[in-house]
Amino acid sequence: MAKKVVATLKKEGTSKVYVKAYKLVINPKTGAYAYKAAIMAADDVNEFFAKKD
């Protein structure tokens, strides 16, 4: 399960939209859950969630 976009990070007058995305990852050794956060262009969000970590 993932929290997709928490905030839209955009400056006035720029054409590129940045977002902050959170992904829930599981440590394979311990089984503990953790969130992986990243700030990226809105176009790259689908690639971020498609990757297996």
pTM > 0.85: yes or no: no
Statement: residue 44 has pLDDT above 60: yes
pLDDT at 14 over 60: no
Confidence of residue 13 (pLDDT cuts 50, 70, 90): low
Res 8: pLDDT: 58
Q: How far is CA 18 from CA 3, 6, 7, 10, 42, in A?
A: 16, 11, 9, 6, 5
Give the whole-angstrom CA distance, residue 17 versus residue 27.
Answer: 31
Residue 23's pLDDT is 92
Largest CA distance in the chain: 46
Contact 42, 30 (CB under 8 A): no
